[in-house]
Amino acid sequence: MEQTFAIIKPDAVERNLIGKILEKIETEGFRVASIKRALLTVLIAEGFYHVHKERPFFKDLTKSMCAGPVVLLVLEKEGAIKAWRKLMGATNPAEADEGTIRKEFAVNLEKNSVHGSDAPETAAFEISYFFSQTEIIS
């Protein structure tokens, strides 16, 4: 069973959307293998998004991830990485397909409600960045 990493971002937590997003996740057949709420610091957000450090939006992105609590998730499903990217929708909600989380809940490109790993190596790094082995119950 493949694992992927997801974040319910501060904009969605602030609008009380945790339940609605988890409902979509479970309805699509994902199992929640681990879940926790956290308040990221800038240093933690910068380490997490290190691949984007040369991008012009890096500072805005890391700041927005620290604007309030997040929910961190390890999700399991056959083909979980691709399936979660599909359920999230396009990065820019204006381009997201009907039925996706970003289409339904995102505010704009920055406040786009959810994060998801984009490849197996990224998923492995991101899961281990926030969770220890003993916190993940397959």
Does residue 77 interact with ligand GDP by CB under 6 A? no
Does residue 10 interact with ligand GDP by CB under 6 A? no
Does residue 41 interact with ligand GDP by CB under 6 A? no
Token reading at 21: 């997003």
Among residues 111, 37, 122, the alpha carbon closest in space to that of 84 is found at 122
In eight-state DSSP terms, residue 132 is: -
Quick one: 44 or 135, whose CB is closer to ligand GDP? 44
Active site residues: 115
Does residue 60 interact with ligand GDP by CB under 6 A? yes
* CA distance to 7, 24, 73, 81, per residue, from 116 (Å): 7, 14, 10, 8
- Site of interaction with ligand GDP (CB under 6 A): 57, 60-61, 91, 109-110, 112, 115, 118
